[in-house]
Chain A
Amino acid sequence: MNRRSKTIAVINYGAGNLGSVANALSKLGYRPVVTGSVSEVLNAHAVFLPGVGAGGDTMQSLEASGMAAAVLKLVELQRPLFAICVGMQVLLSSTEEDGEHKCLGIIPGKVRKLPQGLKVPHMGWNQVRQIISHPVFSGIPDNTDFYFVHSYYAHPGDSSAVAGVTEYGIEFCSMLIKDNLFATQFHPEKSGEPGLRMYSNFLKYALS
């Protein structure tokens, strides 16, 4: 089966930058399905979990739509999954955004507020230092700029899944990889050619 004819689902849970992620995947020659259907998500060959907005609200929408359980199932099945921005944050155990909210707990650790004293949101292009070697970085030089817009960041309890870090007042984890689970705090779909390259690398890796 041709890689580009495989099913790619972009999870629609009533929030997030669904169009942008789908546009980027279409540009790469794939035909993503933006879907709110749990069964469609569970049957896809690869899944994207976008996110924009607040972590607590996002968790609530994921729970209400049944997608929280679906994401946990995808991880259990080792299905290729790419989570973006708040989509990354909800993978952790909890977030301190707007009070304390429990998250999916796939990656142990907390989501914390960026330190005071700098402009928040952290908005714009910043470098991602690659701290592991992985095919997803193929053709993307170390310290390439990616586009960020967030006020909270993931702080994993153990560093084994940390694939990339970025400096903004502190050094924080801007990319996680654990088996077939990929997550970025930045928005590859808004990061120009290197961002498209990262999605392309992910799909090549995940669907081969």
Chain B
Amino acid sequence: MLTKRIIPCLDVTDGRVVKGTSFTNLRDAGDPVEQAAFYYREGADELVFLDIGATPEARDTMVHVVEKVARQVFVPLCVGGGLRTIDDIRRMLQAGADKVSVNTAAVQNPGLLRESAAIFGRQCMVLAVDARRSSGDSAAGWEVCTHGGRKPTGIDALEWIKQAVDLGAGEILLTSWDADGHRSGYDNELNRAVSELVAVPVIASGGAGTLEHLYQALSLGRADAVLAASIFHYREYSIRQAKEYLAAKGVPVRLR
């Protein structure tokens, strides 16, 4: 049986791991290569790097980080943040990323998804979406935010995700703008709506504070994978603890 994936996320700026609350207020903590190797040894199913600085200079730094990580971490690596062109994507894949995630660039130029999926395969193309509740009522839907969550676009998130999958996105990295950084649980109405909408895997992101939150995203939210940063980053829980907790609840996970 296909197992549910547990994915630690490393937010990186200028070659250092950081973790913020609602995309601002960063705290510096750690070398990304060491962090990645640590999570690999702990049994992470995959690693996501988000380059949240993403200036051109920071991009070069990130390429080197990915090269170093790929030499010692033998699980899939996904890299995102500021990738705008086919060449940007190619560079990250050549450095050792298995997948790239695109967000703002895909909203501004949806053709990027189609073009890069045709060149690299759709399994490489992850659409990252920052979705913000349009009002307190879930019936009103969610709005896509770009530029690291700072810029609301007025675009309906569910419509955009459906279109992006048609264009070539092979997976959705779905972050709840409202829940992110608050550690009070994922937006599982959002997770469920997207998981039921598209036939590609959905990674739930934003809001994990406890192991129960991971379980809820995979059960209520019907996500295929859960992404979390701070609960692993500050060692509140190990990946192993998370997996054992989920396994005890009947969720198929990889334990070795």
Residues of A at under 8 Å CB distance from B?
17, 19-20, 23-24, 26-27, 52-54, 119-127, 144-145, 147-151, 167-168, 189-196
B1 in the interface (beta carbon within 8 A): yes
Contact present for A23 and B254 (CB under 8 Å): no
- Contact of B75 with A167 in the complex, beta carbons under 8 Å: no
Which of the residues B1, B122, B201, B224 comes within 8 Å of A126, measured between beta carbons? B1
Stretch at the interface among B50-58, B66-74, B175-183: B66-74
Cα of A24 to Cα of B123 in the assembled complex, Å: 21
Chain A residue contacts of B201, Cβ below 8 A: 119, 121, 123-124
* Chain B residue with the shortest CB-CB distance to A52: B121
- Residues A149 and B123 in contact, CB atoms below 8 Å apart: yes
| Proximity string of chain B (2-39) to chain A, C-beta cutoff 8 Å, 1 when within and 0 when not | 11110000000000000000000000000000000000
- Let me know if B74 and A195 touch, CB within 8 A: yes
B254→A121 contact, CB < 8 A? no
A-B contact count (CB 8 A): 90
Q: List 29 A-B contacts (CB under 8 A).
A: A20-B74, A23-B70, A23-B74, A23-B96, A27-B72, A27-B74, A52-B123, A119-B200, A119-B224, A120-B199, A121-B122, A121-B170, A121-B201, A124-B2, A124-B3, A124-B201, A124-B224, A126-B1, A126-B3, A147-B75, A149-B98, A151-B123, A167-B1, A189-B74, A190-B74, A190-B98, A192-B74, A192-B75, A193-B256
Give the dominant DSSP class at B's interface. Answer: loop
Further pairs besides A126-B3, A191-B74: 9, Cβ < 8 Å: A24-B74, A27-B72, A119-B200, A123-B171, A125-B5, A148-B2, A190-B75, A192-B40, A192-B74
